[in-house]
């Protein structure tokens, strides 16, 4: 057993670090064989390192990454090598309590035995054949998603941004299909402040942060951004008759853990019904059990026409899904959309394992109670600090808004063995642990955050 302070966490299965080092070194040796100059240079470096300290495996990985990867990520300086449950281990053997879960992806933590069995058994049978053919896991997963939601039909893709791209296309096709005689149909969209819907060009056009959009303009036109929660402003624009669909996150994740009110979502539903616009819920981050309900919309008494889901669905493997009503589905015909990899047998088998566990009432109830415990502790331990403005969230999607940038606290917690994220305008600590986190691990996480508040001074 490995100990994090007063909390004892089961040690991950033994991991052969020498195997990791050999795996990393192999490509370097191959490249050396092709270049005498590189070999000579590395030989000189080797001679120098006899005097200076040899860089760690993590340092070497980070240096090599900078040489071969496109620089799109401002990564934390950690090379993770293994994990079990809510614990991760880096290349040097340091342990971390994971309250980031791969950005709200690893709902069942790391190495869940049922997930692992589903993946290995399916990989031995059939991994991929494309959507030219039928496969049983895809149909079984679709049946489960329909049975547990408002939806009548499902379209599979590979990520959250792809799900939102599909929802954009479906919305416009719906308007053209239902208004065949109109020369000009509704093609516009409404999105909201602090929204995040993805980084491909269509989804990016629905994402509020200008710094994400500006370098790639012109992007998809016709998007109107409104204040999140402003009922009157949304109703006025929807009534214009130019809106194909309204995209909204019931609980915003990347935008800073902001929850919609029931009145706001109900007003959007009413306005869309009156104007013939579609209502699209983006539950990529807040759906599939994270709030303590299977779907976030259930707490609001409002059902959308389209819902996009992704992050936790396959427990770490790439998958996205667009859930639609029959009214929307009947407007989509052969060839209107597609994807080579989407919904292949491997990811669908993994997703079935996740959905079967997460959808159990007892599991969802535990998420709700753990979320309340987490928030209560955060309020108790952090509430009196001058840097802390608010603790908010539902279930296990929690935000701690600060009066100052959150990065120093996130970095200090990482050094202390806790992984958390930022959100909003960089002043929100985002806490999205695996849904299996224990009360003891919650208490340890709050203890580390509280202890490191001095990093904000």
DSSP state of 341: S
Radius of gyration in angstroms for the set of CA atoms belonging to the chain, rounded to a whole number = 24
Two tokens, residue 172: 């416009």
How many CA atoms lie less than 13 Å away from 181 in the CB half-sphere? 0
Distance CA 452, CA 413 (A): 6
pLDDT in tens, the chain (457 residues): 333 333 333 344 455 656 566 666 655 444 333 334 334 443 444 444 444 578 999 999 999 999 999 999 999 999 999 999 999 999 999 999 999 999 999 999 999 999 999 999 999 999 999 999 999 999 999 999 999 999 999 999 999 999 999 999 999 999 999 999 888 999 999 999 999 999 999 999 999 999 999 999 999 999 999 999 999 999 999 999 999 999 999 999 999 999 999 999 999 999 999 999 999 999 999 999 999 999 999 999 999 999 999 999 999 999 999 999 999 999 999 999 999 999 999 999 999 999 999 999 999 999 999 999 999 999 999 988 999 999 999 999 999 999 999 999 999 999 999 999 999 999 999 999 999 999 999 999 999 999 999 999 9
Phi and psi at residue 177, to the nearest 5°: -65, -40
Q: Which domains does the chain have, with CATH numbers?
A: 1-75 (no CATH), 114-358 (3.40.640.10), 361-457 (3.90.1150.10)
Distances (CA, A) of 421 to 103, 174, 288, 411: 8, 38, 20, 9
Ramachandran category for residue 246: left, alpha or beta (phi over 0 → left; psi -120 to 50 → alpha): beta
- Predicted pLDDT of residue 18: 61
CB 403 within 8 A of CB 389: yes
Q: DSSP 3-state assignment of 286?
A: coil
Q: Which residue, 400, 442, 447, is CA-closest to 422?
A: 400
Residue at token pair 């409104």 = 226
- Predicted pLDDT of residue 5: 38
| CB proximity list for 367: less than 8 A, separation 6 or greater | 289, 290, 291, 292, 395, 396, 435
List beta partners, residue 306. 280, 324
CB 89 within 8 A of CB 83: yes
Two tokens, residue 156: 């599979």
Q: DSSP 3-state assignment of 380?
A: helix
* Single pTM value for the model: 0.89
Distance CA 16, CA 198 (A): 37
Distance CA 390, CA 443 (A): 19
Phi and psi at residue 236, to the nearest 5°: -65, -45
- Predicted pLDDT of residue 213: 94
- How far is residue 315 CA from its own chain's centroid? 11
Distance CA 189, CA 223 (A): 5
CB 296 within 8 A of CB 286: yes
């Amino acid at each position: 057993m490995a100990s994090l302070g007063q909390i004892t966490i089961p040690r991950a299965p033994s991991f052969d670090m020498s195997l990791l080092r050999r795996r990393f070194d192999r490509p370097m040796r191959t490249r050396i064989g092709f270049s005498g100059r590189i070999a000579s240079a590395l030989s000189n470096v080797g001679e120098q390192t006899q005097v200076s300290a040899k860089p760690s495996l993590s340092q070497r990985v980070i240096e090599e990454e900078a040489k071969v990867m496109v620089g799109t990520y401002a990564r934390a300086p950690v090379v993770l090598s293994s994990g079990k449950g809510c614990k991760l281990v880096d290349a040097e053997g340091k342990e971390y309590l994971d309250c980031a879960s791969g950005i709200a992806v690893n709902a069942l933590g790391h190495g869940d035995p049922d997930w692992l069995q589903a993946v290995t058994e399916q990989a031995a049978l059939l991994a991929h054949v494309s959507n030219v053919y039928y496969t049983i896991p895809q149909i079984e997963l679709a049946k489960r998603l329909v049975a547990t939601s408002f939806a009548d039909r499902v379209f599979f893709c590979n990520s959250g941004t792809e799900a939102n791209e599909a929802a954009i296309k479906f919305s416009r096709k719906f308007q053209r299909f239902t208004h065949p005689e109109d020369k000009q149909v509704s093609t516009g969209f409404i999105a909201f402040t602090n929204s995040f819907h993805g980084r491909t060009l269509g989804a990016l056009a629905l994402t509020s942060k200008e710094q994400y959009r500006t370098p790639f303009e012109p992007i998809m036109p016709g998007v109107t951004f409104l204040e999140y929660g402003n009922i009157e402003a949304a109703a006025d624009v929807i009534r214009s008759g130019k809106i194909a669909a309204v995209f909204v996150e019931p609980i915003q994740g990347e935008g800073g853990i902001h929850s919609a009110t029931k009145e706001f979502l109900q007003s959007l539903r009413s306005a869309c019904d009156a104007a013939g616009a579609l209502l699209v819920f983006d539950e990529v981050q807040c759906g599939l059990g994270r709030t303590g309900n299977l779907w976030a919309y259930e707490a609001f008494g409002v059902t959308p026409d389209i819902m996009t889901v992704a992050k936790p669905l396959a427990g770490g493997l790439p998958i996205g899904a667009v859930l639609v009503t029959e009214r929307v589905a009947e407007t989509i015909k052969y060839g209107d959309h597609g994807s080579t990899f989407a919904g292949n047998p491997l990811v669908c088998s993994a997703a079935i394992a996740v959905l079967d566990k997460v959808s159990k009432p007892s599991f969802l109830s535990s998420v709700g109670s753990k979320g309340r415990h987490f928030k209560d502790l955060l309020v108790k331990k952090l509430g009196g600090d001058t840097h802390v403005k608010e603790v908010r969230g539902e279930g296990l999607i929690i935000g701690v808004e600060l009066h100052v940038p959150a990065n120093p606290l996130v970095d200090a917690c990482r050094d202390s063995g806790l992984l958390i994220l930022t959100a909003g305008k960089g002043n929100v600590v985002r806490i999205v642990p695996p849904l299996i986190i224990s009360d003891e691990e919650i208490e340890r996480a709050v203890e580390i955050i509280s202890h490191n508040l001095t990093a904000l001074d």
